[in-house]
Amino acid sequence: MDYKLLNKINLPDDLKKLSYNELDLLAEEIRDLIIKTVSKTGGHLASSLGAVESTIALYRVFSIPYDKVVWDVGHQAYSHKILTGRAKEFHTLRQLNGISGFLKISESKYDIFGAGHSSTSISAAMGFAKARDLRKEKNYIVAVIGDASVSNGLALEAINHIGQNKTDILIYVIDNEMSISPTVGALSEYFNKILTGNIYNKIRDLTKFILDRIPKFGYPVASVIKHLEEGIKGIFSPGILFEELGFKFYGPINGHNIKLIEETLNKIKDIKGPKILHVYTKKGKGYLPAEKNPTLFHGVGPFDLETGNLLNDSSKITYSEVFSEILLKEAKRNKKIVAIVAAMLEGTNLSKFKEEFPERFFDVGIAEEHAVTFAAGLATEGFKPFVAIYSTFIQRSVDQIIHDVSLQKLPVVFSFDRAGLVGEDGATHHGIFDIVFMKMIPDMVVIAPSDANELKRAVITAARYNKGPVSIRFPRGKIFQYGKEDRLILPFKIGKARLLKKGKDLTIINLGHLLPYVSKAVASIENYKNLKIEIIDARFAKPIDKNLILNSVKKTKKVITIEEGILEGGFGHSVNALLKNSGLKNFSILNLGIQNKFIEHGTMEELRKRCGLNEEGIKEAIFKILKTG
């Protein structure tokens, strides 16, 4: 690492020794390191590039970790990592055993609060602030949050709490007018009005209007005018919405001007009570391809440094593409189908749906709880909502799924993209809990298709099922196809599994997208052992196909279940209970899945290997169970 200034920064306090000219140069060096690293490792580039100057200024004004700067999401905090002693390790970003792409409390004493999911920083900051007050300490507390994340319910609940408690906290809003795509929602429009100066213009025009009508007489009148002007400004203060909620509002200021940010922070940090500083930045700042296409460079795979072209393999289509295509087809048939996303238009691949049916498409912003209850309302009125969401982010909405959807047997469909291990984003983003929490909910049908054709059939099934809610999970990445695709896509019979291959020595019950590994493992073992292994593709985690499973296990007496989800309370455990309750004796069973622990970051292949969920792991399990009884 050959950086003149960065090499001198071991810890944030070293920043305080540099001049403003040197700081600008340092910002360039940090950007260079981030861009070069992410071009190789992939990662969250555009937001991190936009937050470099903010990080420098914050860490010059505040003494971290004594003062608490709490980062939201954590995807913009690469410069935080670099400036808190991890510059030399930064090349290991998001790699197995390397540093995490998000804030992680176990990684560094400077990562004071873990993140990955959005909109947690203000609540956590309130916790830090109350702890400070109870301990009668004096440290500063800052929550750093983006303009999209601030509109989430969790953030607004915290604002509600802080405003009333008049707690000493600074909320530092980084406004780049972007979520992953351009920010949506009334709050974002409000920030936008502040940024574009519409509110300032209103003040200026109104003031001018009044002043023009007052004759210009000497001092007393001038003083009245001055008061008037201030009064008018008070009414139209840019952050009046927040001021009414008990916050002092400062800004907007340029978030790429270190000196200005620093001076502003120094001016406001000792003002008592809740404060907001509104800072505007450019997403992707300093790397032209990212500035031009901040959505693409929000979270990106490896790319060519010169051109910004992605290096990924675009030859095969993804599960998200299959999902969105079949949904679009079905939506043409059924006008009641509507699609709802929570700030993940690109991720869920629903742009075409939005274009084709703008009135039947809703992006509610980062508002997963609202997305679900909103869908419930629509379903009550006879619509057929598809809530398209990443498995990890739906975790926020379990109560809404139970209380607003399932309890009322509403036919809402939940399509969980990025289900299972997701790779480099790591522990905060793996979608490994959904089988368990969906399975536990009464009346919920839980489908886990095992290939592209099955995903299409699952979508059709869910679209035409009106007795209650359905969830469908599918993984990140390219599709797999077992055998040929059907020419005619037909719905499943609810709870009916498919028998993929007959056998007599062992039953493997596959749930979901690990089927390619299962079929390879079975093929390679049968090649050199004289074995016949039966493969059942469960399709449904709930209801399960009791007959097919029981008949198979009666015959083989040995069974392996496999799923890419937490084992505790998962699909395998349903099979265990079924076999136990059936009174069947003398059988052995092995459940493959994810042990009850959090899985770190690494490539999908590395992580599956670690969890025993690849071809090798399945072969080992087969050998193990064959040795029993």
Ligand X SMILES: Cc1ncc(C[n+]2csc(CCOP(=O)(O)OP(=O)(O)O)c2C)c(N)n1
Q: Residue 414 or 540: which CB sits closer to ligand X?
A: 414
Rounded (5°) CA angle 459-462-467: 175
Q: Residue 353 or 393: which CB sits closer to ligand X?
A: 393
**3-class secondary-structure state, position 193:** helix
* Shortest Å, Cβ 197 to ligand X: 20
Nearest to 143 by CA among 243, 82, 72, 233: 72
Q: Does residue 610 carry a catalytic annotation?
A: no
Q: Which residue is nearest to ligand X (CB)?
A: 146
* Shortest Å, Cβ 116 to ligand X: 6
Catalytic residue among 396, 439, 456, 558: 396
Q: 229, exposed or middle or buried, with CB in 10 Å at 0-12, 13-18, 19+?
A: middle
- Give the separation between CA 148 and CA 151, rounded to whole angstroms: 6
Q: Which helix (H) or strand (E) holds 523?
A: helix 515-528
* Torsions phi, psi for 262 (to 5 deg): -60, -45
What burial letters (b/e) apply to 239-273, b meaning 16+ CB within 10 Å? beebeebbbbbbbbbebbbbeebbebbeeebeeee
Nearest to 454 by CA among 267, 359, 326: 326
Q: Residue 179 or 510: which CB sits closer to ligand X?
A: 179
* Shortest Å, Cβ 65 to ligand X: 22
Nearest to 383 by CA among 438, 324, 447, 339: 339
Q: Bridge-partner residues for 254, per DSSP?
A: 280
Rounded (5°) CA angle 65-71-73: 145
- Give the separation between CA 592 and CA 525, rounded to whole angstroms: 18
* Shortest Å, Cβ 145 to ligand X: 6
Q: Residue 47 or 519: which CB sits closer to ligand X?
A: 47
Which ranges of 402-451 does DSSP label H, i.e. alpha helix? Answer: 434-439
* Shortest Å, Cβ 416 to ligand X: 13
48 torsion bin: left (phi>0), alpha (psi -120 to 50), beta (else): alpha
Judge whether 242 and 249 are in contact, CB under 8 Å. Answer: yes
Catalytic residue among 68, 104, 283, 360: 283
* Shortest Å, Cβ 278 to ligand X: 13
**3-class secondary-structure state, position 449:** coil
* Shortest Å, Cβ 242 to ligand X: 17
Q: Residue 77 or 544: which CB sits closer to ligand X?
A: 77
Question: How distant, in Å, are the alpha carbons of 265, 396, 437, 468, 586 from that of 408?
Answer: 50, 19, 18, 8, 42
* Shortest Å, Cβ 567 to ligand X: 25
Q: Report residue 296 CA to chain centroid gap.
A: 15
Q: Does residue 229 carry a catalytic annotation?
A: no
Q: Residue 118 or 519: which CB sits closer to ligand X?
A: 118
- Give the separation between CA 11 and CA 461, rounded to whole angstroms: 56
Catalytic residue among 368, 369, 564, 615: 368
* Shortest Å, Cβ 494 to ligand X: 30
- Give the separation between CA 588 and CA 625, rounded to whole angstroms: 7
Q: Which residues bind ligand X (CB under 6 A)?
A: 47, 73, 75-76, 117-118, 146-149, 174, 176, 178-180, 183, 283, 343, 366, 368, 393, 396
Show Cβ contacts of residue 509 under 8 Å, excluding neighbours closer than 6 positions: 497, 536, 538, 549, 559, 560, 561, 562, 575
**What are 97's two structure tokens?**
């055993």
* Shortest Å, Cβ 292 to ligand X: 16
Q: Residue 39 or 391: which CB sits closer to ligand X?
A: 391
Q: Does residue 619 carry a catalytic annotation?
A: no
Judge whether 421 and 409 are in contact, CB under 8 Å. Answer: no
Compute how many other C-beta atoms are within 10 angstroms of the C-beta atom of residue 47: 27
Q: Residue 18 or 145: which CB sits closer to ligand X?
A: 145
**3-class secondary-structure state, position 475:** coil
Q: Residue 123 or 519: which CB sits closer to ligand X?
A: 123
Q: Residue 73 or 445: which CB sits closer to ligand X?
A: 73
- Give the separation between CA 400 and CA 414, rounded to whole angstroms: 12
* Shortest Å, Cβ 118 to ligand X: 4
Cis peptide before 294 (omega within 30 of 0): no
Question: Which residues are catalytically annotated?
Answer: 283, 368, 396
